[in-house]
Structure 1
């Protein structure tokens, strides 16, 4: 099992009468891309700020690299963060922005390090254009380079594709996958589950400040896989019929009365006919097709998905 390098336990943040995060519990293992999914206003930024040391929790515990942290802690220095705005200097170019950050870190051999980061994020070190003239995608890439200046073990990205065009989204996605392939652990938040599913390996669903579900990539995709749901008198009696008479092998027994069938070669009427002929009472049968967004917004939060708070 991979080493857990971040663990939060009962993590809570209270702002006067508003609870932004309520008793969050999860762990992130080394080498994962951890996706934090939630609507705007769900508490994602607040949660990430607490993990990154930018905000004190009201209660609860954070462990970084198997050490409990309190207030200012050296382990926060091993985390690179891009939350909300990158804090770039608009009248400086990309190299100059990174050079200022590198100086604040006390880095030597800055030129080589900065040029390597700019190449990594797909920016030209020789480009003297001021950042104020950059596209949104270029600013996001430079912001990621700034978060990487201290060679962190963990990179936190809060809504990095927000406001980007399709090309910009594709560029950020490619960069995230390349960084992860090189061994970096990444935490990325978004309110767009469909896009997050293209990179993340683990997921936590945050709704109104509470972590309501955890899933691996495989578990999440299985929830949204096309399937036929049958409700019968006794699932244990139905399974042999499905296997032997209908050659159905891709199924899952959900409960004593419910079976999910994932094989797509069989029609509903054939299933009903075979089960009834072999003495199995069928209460209902339905075809189920659900997108990732429908699963999150409808099944998990009861909202339509196109509304943001």
Structure 2
């Protein structure tokens, strides 16, 4: 992958005999919004903490900027993190919270930098309201601002829309897209695939600590697109009939027996009639419609078992 900024290979984490993450593999390109989707307890936070350098993996390797990471490596400083909660001081206002973090970073000209970051996330540096009186959405914005103080190349957000109302979700979604436009590579986790699909460009499905699927946005949407699934004796013969007699050009050959047709205006009986009349043995023709959430639940199983 060109311009790979993060590469995870066989990454594993054990806690007291329990496996939280098992042999995770994926790559993230510079400038992507990478969506990590999985149920609560699937291992998302553990995986993100390893990438961010907060905990050490039991085995496997993390490469940042094409360099293998070891404990306390300085490249971890190029990552901004918002995992589980922002750790804000409730009796300080937004500016005061960020000022403390800026001091820890040893930043010069703190005032200008803090005002710029607060403006970036849509907060007012002159607002003296204490954080304890903030809405959940404002706290999330300030948490993201805190993760941006070090001017990171990579931003990791763990369930940033959790607990927000629809307006708050919309605001955080817009903020993520705006930050990505500035060149920041973003990793965002959620248990709601439908919401991730509105921002992410690449996806990994994590189930019981294992990456079970990896898709681009286009691949994921194609999986859920309305289609007719046709099983025949010989797919090569069927395809020529679909093209020449039914004028179907939006299809995908899955195997030597199965083809997916995405021309939803074609009725099943017309397809069956044309195939049979031309000597093609048809085993089944089924219309398929699936939402993103249905697709996710089908991949992990509706029981929803997960690792700690």
| TM-score normalised by structure 2 residue count | 0.98
Structure 2 residue aligned with 1:154? 154
The answer (yes or no) to whether the contact 2:88–2:131 under 8 Å persists in 1 is yes
Structure 2 residue aligned with 1:217? 217
Structure 1 residue aligned with 2:47? 47
Structure 1 residue aligned with 2:33? 33
Supply the distance in 2 between the matched residues of 1:9 and 1:177 (Cα, whole angstroms): 28
Supply the distance in 2 between the matched residues of 1:132 and 1:140 (Cα, whole angstroms): 13
The answer (yes or no) to whether the contact 1:39–1:308 under 8 Å persists in 2 is no
- Please give the secondary structure, in 2, of the residue aligned with 1:170: helix
- Deviation for aligned residue 1:306: 12
- Please give the secondary structure, in 2, of the residue aligned with 1:42: coil
Q: Summarize the Cα distance change of 1:140–1:306 in structure 2 as closer, same or farther, 3 Å threshold.
A: farther
- Please give the secondary structure, in 1, of the residue aligned with 2:62: strand
- Deviation for aligned residue 1:281: 1.1
Structure 2 residue aligned with 1:267? 267
Supply the distance in 2 between the matched residues of 1:7 and 1:51 (Cα, whole angstroms): 9
- Tell me the alpha carbon deviations over residues 18-76 of structure 1, each in whole angstroms, 9 at most, x when there is no partner: 10001111111100001111000000000000000000111111111111111111000
- Please give the secondary structure, in 2, of the residue aligned with 1:260: strand
Contiguous gaps of at least 5 residues in structure 1 = none
Q: How many residues align?
A: 308
Does structure 1 residue 301 correspond to structure 2 residue 300?
yes
- Deviation for aligned residue 1:289: 0.2
Runs of 4+ in 1 over 4 A off after TM superposition: 304-309
Supply the distance in 2 between the matched residues of 1:132 and 1:53 (Cα, whole angstroms): 29
- Deviation for aligned residue 1:14: 0.3
Structure 2 residue aligned with 1:284? 284
Structure 1 residue aligned with 2:185? 185
The answer (yes or no) to whether the contact 2:208–2:305 under 8 Å persists in 1 is no
- Deviation for aligned residue 1:126: 1.3
- Please give the secondary structure, in 1, of the residue aligned with 2:194: helix
Structure 1 residue aligned with 2:242? 242
The answer (yes or no) to whether the contact 2:20–2:43 under 8 Å persists in 1 is yes
Contiguous gaps of at least 5 residues in structure 2 = none
Supply the distance in 2 between the matched residues of 1:304 and 1:290 (Cα, whole angstroms): 18
- Please give the secondary structure, in 2, of the residue aligned with 1:115: helix
Structure 2 residue aligned with 1:125? 125
Supply the distance in 2 between the matched residues of 1:130 and 1:297 (Cα, whole angstroms): 41
